[in-house]
Structure 1
Amino acid sequence: MIAQRYSYLSWLPLLLVSSSHPQWPSSWRCIPQPARSSVPCYCSGRQTWAGSLCGTLRIPGKRKRNEIMLRYVVALSLLALSWAQDCQVANINVMQNFDKTRYAGTWYAVGKKDPEGLFLLDNIVAQINIEEDGKMTATAQGRVIILNNWEMCAHMFATFEETADPAKFKMKYWGAASYLQTGNDDHWVIDTDYDNYAVHYSCRLVDADGTCLDGYSFIFSRHPTGLRPEDQLVVLQKKTDLCLLGKYRRVAHTGFCESGTSLDPQ
């Protein structure tokens, strides 16, 4: 424990000193000194420079110290990983040996990293189709808010142009209503097991350093209730690989688009 006026970081220097001497007892205390004193703090007969740390300070037990040090190590490891991570769009890995036929069918968006502009908010359901000529198309619906908080269920359409990489498409999309967004974005399938989950990614604008300046991503599930526990760790790793960890929001499915309030196709 520690006096309320001290934070964990306040006694980190003493913690580092004491952790190198595990034989020192957990009841080790600093001899009280004037608050914010800049004199040495004498502890159990040993002198350690504590500066403003002198005062009512008690060093935690060995087990607690080890737990705290482990947290620092994990935090520093994650920080080092983020520094070393390659976030350039050109180096993003996509699904190997992608099979668009197995990808077809109904997908429920359960997570979403938003782009700029008006976009589907929630209750997002996509239907991927393979046409007779082998081309992939899609329809989607989801809740949008337009015209001063008017909630509607919007319908979207898309066609996909294949590229040299089977998992990378150019997706031309448009809405049933003229004020819905239109575009011609990348549609990359980062990972999928076809039966349970899929991770989609699109970068609309690449920055000068090669990273994505404006992009979006969907986490899809075959089940409206969300991802299975065994799929969550896989998806978490893919979010990290995309440099988007912590930027997704949950997509709810409340049956809004079945309520009859929709922007029907013209």
Structure 2
Amino acid sequence: MKYFNYVFIAVLITILEQCKAQTCVVDSLSVKENFELKRYGGKWYAVSKKNPEGLFLQDNISAEYTLEEDGTMSASSKGRVKLFGFWLICADMAAQYSVPDPTIPAKMYMTYQGLASYLSSGGDNYWVIDTDYDNYAITYACRTMKEDGTCKDGYSIIFSRNPRGFSPAIQRIVRQKQEEMCMTGQFQPVLQTGAC
């Protein structure tokens, strides 16, 4: 019986340590080490997303990233958005990215503008949590934080170079990263029909 109690206590301590190790504090999220803007460039298709509060692209989302001569990055994005609760239209967005801290190039700041009056403009953090540059990219933005440092309103987009999605091996990597971001179960699939 004593042996069972010791095993139970050891397992309980291990579980508690793992819970303490995983924190949902935004500043503790890890991003892609040695991130390379040039390799990230090109066309990406959204395959799943976690929306922020308010109006957000609904489906057929794609983004084309371009590295400019001055070393900054820009993007043009497309996707369908639902207006007035029923009207689906294709929308275009443009964004520019800056790297506030050159030692952490995966933590960028994005300024964006909708190319029509009904789309919003503004700025968000744009973090590349992980990418292999050839298959997948996981992006994250927290718009507002709670007092405890966790995210109150944020979003994340999982991108693929292929609009049809990922292999099972890549899906496992993506699921692990979603868990590390404290966003397990919060993503919706993004329909890719070529509508935009």
In structure 2, the CA distance between the partners of 1:146 and 1:101, relative to structure 1 (3 Å rule), is: same
Q: What is the match of residue 178 of structure 2?
A: 239
1:64 equivalent in structure 2: none
Residue equivalent to 1:131:
68
Q: 1 or 2 for the larger relative contact order (CA 8 Å, sep ≥6)?
A: 2
Q: Does the C-alpha gap of structure 1 residues 209 and 255 become closer, same or farther in structure 2, counting only changes over 3 Å?
A: same
Cα distance 1:148–1:92, how it changes in 2: closer, same or farther (>3 A)? closer
Change (3 A) 1:142 1:78: farther
* Pair 229,178 (structure 1): closer, same or farther in 2 beyond 3 Å: same
Alignment match, 2:169? 230
Q: CA deviation at 1:85?
A: 2.3
Question: Which amino acid in 1 is paired with 2:87?
Answer: W
Quick check: 178-187 or 218-227, which moved more?
Answer: 178-187
Coordinate RMSD, CA, aligned: 1.8
Summarize the alignment of residues 106-121 of structure 1 with structure 2, pairs less than 5 Å apart: 106-121=43-58
Deviation at 1:230, TM superposition (A): 1.3
- 1:173 is matched by which residue type in structure 2? Y
For the pair 1:168 / 2:107, whether they are aligned, the reply is yes
Which of 146, 157, 162 lines up with 1:218 in the alignment? 157
Query: Partner of 1:146 in structure 2?
Result: 83
Does the CA contact (< 8 Å) of 1:130 and 1:136 recur in 2? yes
Matches within 5 A, 1:1-266: 81=18, 85-164=22-101, 165-257=104-196
TM-score (norm 1): 0.65
- Counterpart CA distance in 2 for 1:249 and 1:124 is 13
Deviations 1:65-122 (A, max 9, x none): xxxxxxxxxxxx9898557521101101000000000000000000100100101001
- The alpha carbon displacement at 1:242 in A equals 0.4
Supply the AA of the counterpart residue of 1:205.
T
Give the number of aligned pairs: 182
Identity %: 51
So what's the TM-score if we normalise by structure 2?
A: 0.88
Q: Which residue of 2 aligns with 1:49?
A: none
Structure 2 gap ranges (5+): 5-13
